[in-house]
Amino acid sequence: MKILIEDLTFDAIIGILDHERITPQQVCIDCSIDYPYRNGHYINYAQVVQAIEKTMIDEQFELIETALEVLTSTLKKDFPLIQELSLTIHKPDILSNCTVGVEHKTIF
């Protein structure tokens, strides 16, 4: 089974520039989770969304790369059924002419 969470958008402190450490900015996260659905055992996607948003807001990451590593560990710990995880974090407002982001894929 595959869970798809697309365009999860909220404001968080993320970045290394001075203004990024003060003013929350919009982040957009895409998440894909592969897991074995058997005997009614499933992953609640609403809980995944809540875990992603809480981690991002609470941790106030400097680097997207660090955020991806921590999110990967957190999600695997909270949802041990995950076999494969893909996360992308976009910062749509940081540059005026494009959206930038970083993607991380993990097979457990």
Mean pLDDT of 80-90: 98
Number of domains in the chain: 1
Stretch 70-92: mean pLDDT, rounded? 98
What would the mean pLDDT of 51-74 be, rounded to a whole number?
98
Q: What pLDDT does 76 receive? A: 98
85, HSE (Cβ side, Cα atoms, 13 Å): 24
Burial (0-12, 13-18, 19+ Cβ within 10 Å), 78: middle
Confidence band of 95 (pLDDT split at 50, 70, 90): very high
* pLDDT the model gives residue 55: 98
Mind listing the pLDDT tens digit for each residue in 14-34? 999 999 999 999 999 999 999
For 18, the domain range is 2-107
User: Mean of the pLDDT values across residues 104-108?
Assistant: 97
Query: Which domain CATH number covers 46?
Result: 3.30.1130.10
